[in-house]
Each structure stands twice: as C-alpha cells, then as structure tokens.
Structure 1
C-alpha cells in the first residue's frame, strides 16, 4: 500500500505558526516532521543591552506566554549575580505564575483542545434535562442547572440558524473519531462558555499583582516593583489581597468541580487514547514556586525520568542546580541556522540560514534541544510523573483521584503507566491545574502571613544589582504551562554579550538532531491512527495535547528588512 503525504499548515488553535507533515500508510502514521514556520530573533536584539531590561523584551517572545519569559529572564540575571530575593517578592512572583498557569490551562482544555473531542453540532440533538442530570451526577458545581444548559442550547441553535457557527465554525463535525453522545457534547459546550469567565478571573489576579496583563510591569531584577503597605490605598493592601483571594477561590472551585471533572470524563470516554501518542518517554521538569530567598526549597518538584521508568527519577533541587546547568544543549543540524553544530546555550549563536523544506535536511526554525544528548518531553505530564515518582503529596493526591475516577467511569483499569500517551497529557494538565489551584491560595496566605509579621521588603535596597567588570554567566528556569523554560545569559562589563532562550515548545517541536532522533511531536505521531487522511483529526488530537506555542519557539523577521505586513487599527 502506497504512503500518502498529508501536510497540515498551519496547525490552528495554537499560538504561532506550526506545520506538521505525516506519511500515512494502512491507516497509521509511518513518518512525521514538525516544522516551526517563523524565526525568533529577539536574542539578536538583546545584544549590548542592559541585562536588567531583558525581561521586558523577552516577554515579547509571545502574546500568551508573557509572564513566564519575564520570570525566567530576571532569574537568569539574578543567577549571574548570585542574588537572594526577598520573601515577599518570591510570594508575589509565585502568585502571578500560578494565576497565569490557571488561566492558561483552562483556556487550553476548553478553547484550544476540546473541539478535537467534542462534536459541537451533535450537541443540538441533546436533551438539556438529561445533560443537567449527567452533570449533577459528576459534580456539585451550582452552575450545572437545567436552565443553564437550555440557554446554552438556544445560543448554539442561534449560531446554526444564522448560518455561522461563530467560534465553532471550523471543526471535523461528524468525523468517525468523534464518540461522545449529544448530552456530553452539550455539557462540554456549556462549560466551554463558562470557562471564558473563569480564565478571566485568573487573569485578573495576574493583573492585580503584575500591573497589567499580558506583559506584566512589576518585575525587576532582585525583586518586584510592587509596594506593600496594608494601610495605603495606593499600594498592595489588605483590600486588594482579599480581592485576589476571592478570585482565586472562585477559580479553584471551577477547576476542582468542573475542569478536573470534565477532563476525567473525557479521558474515560476516550480511554483508547491512553494507548496512543506516547512518543518520547524521557521527561524533564524543573522545580518552581520557591519558598525561600535562595531558591533551594520549592512547592513544585523538578527532575528527569528516562525511558518512561519512574524509578530513574533524578531530582533537580535548586536554581543553581549543576545537573540541569551542565546537560542542556541545542542542535541545528536540521534547523534553518548557519552550521550543523550542537552547543551549550552559553556557546550558541543565532544566525539564520533559510533553505526550502528538506525532508532529510533543514526543515524548521526551531532548534533541537537535548538533555544529556537525549530528546526530552516537557510539559504537565513531565511534572506530574516526576512529582509522582518523588512522592509529591498534592500531585499524588490528584493523580490517584484522576486514575480512580477514570477507571470507574470507563470500566477499565487505568494506571500511572497509561499516562505515557495523548490522553495522558490531557489528564496531566488537569491534575497540574488542580494542584496549582491549591498552591495559588497557599502562597497568597504565605504572603499575607509574612506581611502580618511586619515584613514589607520587596527589593534588596541595601544591595541592589551591580555588574562587575569582565564576564559572568547565569541561567534562570521556570516550569511554565507548557513545560521547562530556561533563559541563558552571558554578561560582559555590564552588557548582554549573548542571550538564548530554550523554551518548552522548542523541546517538544524539536526537529531531528545530529543522531537522527525525532523530537517529541514527531515521535508521538508515529503509529497514530488516521481514519480519513483528508481530515486528519487524530493528528490534531496528539499535537494539541502538547499545547503548542510556536511563537515562543520562533519569531518572524525579514532578513532584508522589507515590510512584511501593515495592520491598521480602526
């Protein structure tokens, strides 16, 4: 049987431009290529600039993952200067990062990924009373009323009768891989709409502590620029802290009573997808949410796992961890950059050299990150597996709960080993969100308690950052919504000499390296079913399970400085 080449360009419902090519034979994917279709050039822009300004530039890697680059950037510079960070500043940063991730994960499940599994048009056949009864049997969330689902169905009918499905206008409705009954589809559409409100509430918390969002304004190298005074209306006071707590409580309830429950139900009803899409089973996660000034104690775990064997787990324990620092490299053998080198980020350069798409040559703007020479899968699944292997209390609690519920609903025994899969990535993100919903409130309480003890410090005024003569190097990492993010900076005489960002989607979208090893996207597609090559829904399911953010991995620039596009704001 001849192989059929299928090209999906661009992949939609992601951030940025991603092209996926697969060769299908006998209803399964036999070969795959993942190609990032833009060049990221901010590293070049940063050369010669003050390192204290880098965080503001790196936020512009992406319109979604803004706070994550800000925090990784300031941590990189702080690492070079070997700084300690005031406890209040750590807590404020942690709250921002938790709230950003809560927003991001809710959006991914409902608005970017769910439409691969939910047949929106089928929901028109649903009985709202039966949908409400089903929803109430799964959760005690007060929004699951008959009236709510009747209103949702009316909205959907209005979309269809107008001839325009609005946000649901593109989808493989009626595809044979869609398996949910109408009542479940209506439930999912209803929660899709409700999720719009709750992701906004999480983002309000980001803006409250970050000054605005996207592109927060309150980070500085050494701390935060957010004055704390419980009795001053113009500062972070008790009224604002109480408002943040109320918002986070609402988001927590939605995550625990709706998102987590929906993800579990989806996983149970599509349990065959626990056997599909494993791909690379080497995992990398970094610790985050520091609990001390030095970055040696954390509320989220990090480490590595190789070959899917949880007994191989090796922890990453601090912001200065040598195991992480010494083992990250990137390869450009199959990337549109000059050369075919493999280098540590501090020794890299960023010199674009475009060719046509070459199956056996260069075919992507993304570099190929490796850890100890191996491709690594990053993201919520990596952190859940590392946390589970290390005995992290909250991760074990929510993972065991998810596996128990999925097994009960599906009638199949689903174990931790089944998480090496497309559906495993989906449920791991829900587990991580449930954990973060608790930790966001914990760190807000820690901040309030520390303020109550009279500590109002937010910045090391007695020892502000100063740069020595000569060369210093630093690296900063953060476990972002899509996985391990690290920034690497070389500073010479107080100016940036070299800057590199190794981002989560670069790890996952990685092209082949000098050893010919596929990256996680590519490897996960091998063996995927494809019922209809002209409608490759199954390919989208696996790729979307990673939550691609290609704008972080690459950025667009015309090397001849010609205008590419002009947009007029009305």
Structure 2
C-alpha cells in the first residue's frame, strides 16, 4: 500500500506498507519527500540572529524553534536570563502548546475518529444528553449542551450532504467499519470541531500578547525578552489571563470529554495486544521506548539545573518500573537510509553534516514508483539515542513523568485513567497517544494560570528586569552550545558551534526527525514505522487506520525537512545586506 501524501499534517509525508492476507500490516516505511537546508543557511551568521531564521523552519511550532535556537546561544556564552524572562518564555511556549494541541485534535486528527456523515442521523436531544454524560466523566460542565445548538449544526451538515458539497469534510472514508462512534457522538465531535475554529483564534492571541505576533513571535532575544511594556501593563496581563480562562473552559468542557468518549469507544483497539510490536498496549503502540529532554523551568537556578514541569528522562522497551537519565553525548544522527552523504558512522549534532544525495525511487513493472527501502528512502535523518530508536512527544512526556513519579503528571495521568477506568498500558497505543496530548493540554492550561499570576506579582513588586546584559565581543568567540527542551510534538534540540564570532556549524534535531525517521544503520525501526506494524486495516482501499495512527504523532515534516531540486541543482542565491534600513 502507498499513501502519498498523508494529508492534514504539516509538510510532505509518504507511507508505504505491506499487508498480509488478513489485512494486517507486517512492515512499513516512512519517507519525507522534502529537503531541509536551514542548517546550511545558518553557517557564517552571527549566532544572535539564528533564532529569527531558525523559527522559519516551520509555520506551526515557530516560537519553539526560535526559543531553542536562542537558548543554544545562551548556553554557548553562559548567559542566565532574569525571572521575568523565564516566566514570559514559559507563557509564550504554553500558549503555543494549548493552541497547537487543540488544533491538532480537532482539525487534523478528529476526523480519524468522527464520521461526519453519520452525524446526519443523530437525535439532537439524545446528543445533548450524551454531551452532558461525557462532560460528567471528565468532571466538568459541557461546553455545548443545548439540543438547539446540536440541531443547528446537524442542519448545516445535512444541507451540505444533500447538495453534494461537503467542502472540508469531502473525500473522507465515511462509513468505514473502523469508525466506532454512534451518530450522536459523531454530532458532538462535529459541533466541537466547528466551535474549535473560533476558540483556536482566541488562543493564538495569547502568544501574540507577549510574543509580539503569531505565528512568528519576535520578543525573545539572547539574554531574555523585549516585551517590557507588556509586563508593566496590568491590562495586558489581565487580557492574557482572560483568554486563558476562556481557553480552559473549552479544554475542560469539550476537548477532554471528547477524548474520554473516543478513548472508551475505541478501547478495544487500544488494548489489542495482537496489533502490537511487543505485545504491550494496543494498536499503534510501536517501539515503546520514550524520551523527554524536559522543559518549562520552574525556578531560576540555571537552564539545565532547574526543576522542570516536564522532567527529563528515558523509559525503554515498555518497562514502566524505571526511568533513565538523558545524556546529550549519546545523541547521534545516521544517514544510512536518508538522502544524504555521510561519514559512514552516526554523527553527533555538533559535528553533523547536511549534504544532499538524492537517489530517487524505483519504478516497477506495475507502473508505480516505490521507495528503495533497502537503500536510501527519506529526506529525514535517523536519530538514535545510544544506538536506540525512541519516541518523543506528549506521550513520552507523560510516560517519563509518570514513571519518575512527578507529582503533577502522576496526578493528571492518574485522574484520566481512573475516570476512564483504563489501565496505564492503554497509553501505549494510537488512542493513548491522543489521550496523552489531551492530558498534557489540561495540565498546561492549569499551570499557566499559576505562571501568569506569578508574573503579575513579580512585576507589581517592582522587578521589571527582562534582559541580562552581556558583552558579545568579550566572551569567548570559539564556543558551542545546545538548546535541548521540548516542543509540542516532542524533544527538540538545536546545536551551534561558534568560531571567530560566527556560526561554524548548526544542527537541529526535531521531534518529527525522531518519530518519522527511517531505519537506523542496523535496521533499527522508528516510531512511525513501528506503530504501523500490527495494525489491522478494514479496507485496503481506505487507509483510515494508517492515517489515524500517523496523525496521533501530529507530524510536522516541514520541521524535519525543506525544498531542493530533485537533481540536486541550486535553485537560487539571495544576498541580504543586514545594514540596510527597511
């Protein structure tokens, strides 16, 4: 089976899979069909400028690349930022998380669970009762509970179906037997999908308050942040808090109940051990090894010494009895199966190279072109931790935090599992990966309330410091640094080497590189590929199950790659005069 392109993601992704006579996937390959050259573009630049260019890696998780790049330079020059800057950065990143997770669930992933056409058969009164039921399971009031509201949404969908213009809901696999929700539950999902279009717009404003704009914030600089007036103005902080309060109402009254609903209705898949690589969890569980760099500093003792909201750690091979520390020196990237030239051995990011070597696809007798899976087959490199493949993302953060006994994460994960009446191993599945993202969103929405109050209190006390002064000319000009933290999709690292005050080498290893990367040098299987093996497909002509599992990772292939001519030719050269006044 070839699924190309995978839609409702950021970037370009191709999946090839082999299914047996029982429609069970027995092997799979993940390939990015784009090239990224950001690392090459940054060579020779002033390291303080890298963040503004690195954020253009992607149009979704922009602020995360921006901050990681800035932190790599701060690490290189041993700069500690003030408390206000830490809090503002946490709020900017937190706003990105809740916005990104909400958009992912409803507008990129929900239609893998929700059958839109089935919603036309729902009873609006029964739908209202169903909404109250699932909100009750989540322990909150339903965001939408009026029969009339559900009837209005249903009337719109019925009209679209009758006129044959489903628009954004067109070309779905409606009626596929692996859709499990009732008509009423489907109508709830559609209603919340449409409402989320409005809610996400308000969420985006939070990042803009302290970041200057969205999606590409501008207020983070080496040494701190620049939004002094926003910190001084109580009205700006109050606006952020009000938008956060409204966002949390939707998260708790719609998002969480919908995930409880989907998790319960798809529980059989989430606990199907026959559909797993290692007999633990359920469909989509995959390689069962998880890594988190840790993120969101809770104190000011230094970037890699602070207590973190998300702890750093590794959980390997599904063993939830212990967690291991992360050693950055054990991180490498391999290009055995990637369209790059390499040194013959996996490279640490400080010494990484990005030299394209496209070898194309193989055209077979059936007229189709296939990946050369025994050779090079993706523009994404293959990251390894101590020679092992690991999964990163919200599930990894929740698993690592839970295994390490983090009080907040244990509380939120425990509450979810208790209310859903599900075992912790259910997290090792496509459904569990989706649930982990929702759990994290609730946690983030709550902790941000604490951060915004802390910022307001600190500013009211007279502390308005937002930047640590440093003399770039007096610090060591030959140095290196790394910004290792988390992005909405998982562990994100930026590495920079500086020589004579300019960037000598730059590498970014992003979450979708970890998850979507091809086989390793010894055939090590990655997170996407491993999650697909064992998956049962109801209809090979409708790869719903493949798309559902891949979407559960929230792919951002643009982060992992960018554009090049297929023959390796240079497309264009641009020279920019940085002294020019615009």
Aligned residues: 540
Summarize the alignment of residues 519-534 of structure 1 with structure 2, pairs less than 5 Å apart.
519-534=526-541
**In structure 2, distance between residues paired with 1:118 and 1:540:** 13
SS of 1:342's partner is: coil
**In structure 1, distance between residues paired with 2:269 and 2:457:** 45
Summarize the alignment of residues 171-570 of structure 1 with structure 2, pairs less than 5 Å apart.
171-228=172-229, 236-274=232-270, 275-293=282-300, 294-295=302-303, 296-315=306-325, 323-339=326-342, 340-357=344-361, 358-407=372-421, 414-461=422-469, 463-466=470-473, 468-558=475-565, 559-562=568-571
Q: Deviations over 1:119-150 (max 9, x none)?
A: 00010001111101111122223532112111
Displaced runs of 4+ in structure 1, greater than 4 A?
Answer: 464-467
Equivalent residue number for residue 137 of structure 1: 133
SS of 2:355's partner is: coil
**In structure 1, distance between residues paired with 2:537 and 2:373:** 21
Between 436-445 and 181-190, the greater mean CA deviation after superposition = 436-445
Q: Which one of the candidate residues 111, 122, 126 is aligned to 2:122?
A: 126
**In structure 2, distance between residues paired with 1:272 and 1:156:** 29
**In structure 2, distance between residues paired with 1:19 and 1:288:** 31
Q: Which one of the candidate residues 15, 20, 25 is aligned to 1:20?
A: 15
SS of 1:343's partner is: coil
Q: Deviations over 1:421-465 (max 9, x none)?
A: 11110111111111101111111111111112210000113x354
Q: Deviations over 1:79-105 (max 9, x none)?
A: 111110111001000000001010000
Equivalent residue number for residue 170 of structure 1: 171
- Contact map agreement 1:222 1:464 (CA 8 A) in 2: no
SS of 2:340's partner is: coil
Distance 1:343 1:435, change over 3 A: same
**In structure 2, distance between residues paired with 1:179 and 1:89:** 46
Equivalent residue number for residue 88 of structure 2: 92
**In structure 2, distance between residues paired with 1:469 and 1:229:** 33
- Contact map agreement 1:467 1:494 (CA 8 A) in 2: no
- Contact map agreement 1:221 1:465 (CA 8 A) in 2: no
Distance 1:467 1:8, change over 3 A: farther
SS of 2:114's partner is: coil
**In structure 2, distance between residues paired with 1:448 and 1:181:** 46
Question: Offset at 1:324?
Answer: 3.1
Equivalent residue number for residue 34 of structure 2: 38
Question: Offset at 1:182?
Answer: 0.5
- Contact map agreement 1:51 1:496 (CA 8 A) in 2: yes
- Can you give the 5+ residue segments of structure 2 that lack an aligned partner in the other structure? 136-140, 271-281, 362-371, 573-582
Distance 1:288 1:464, change over 3 A: farther
Q: Deviations over 1:269-319 (max 9, x none)?
A: 00022121111111101221112331222222221111111222124xxxx
Between 148-157 and 134-143, the greater mean CA deviation after superposition = 134-143
- Contact map agreement 1:72 1:478 (CA 8 A) in 2: yes
Equivalent residue number for residue 275 of structure 2: none
Q: Which one of the candidate residues 64, 69, 79 is aligned to 1:68?
A: 64
- Contact map agreement 1:23 1:29 (CA 8 A) in 2: yes
- Contact map agreement 2:260 2:420 (CA 8 A) in 1: yes
Q: Deviations over 1:143-201 (max 9, x none)?
A: 32112111111221232233211211121001111121100000000011111122222
Distance 1:562 1:80, change over 3 A: closer
- Contact map agreement 1:67 1:97 (CA 8 A) in 2: yes
SS of 2:327's partner is: helix
- Can you give the 5+ residue segments of structure 1 that lack an aligned partner in the other structure? 1-5, 231-235, 316-322, 408-413, 564-570
Equivalent residue number for residue 162 of structure 2: 161
Q: TM-score, normalised by structure 2?
A: 0.91
**In structure 2, distance between residues paired with 1:441 and 1:493:** 43
Between 291-300 and 147-156, the greater mean CA deviation after superposition = 291-300
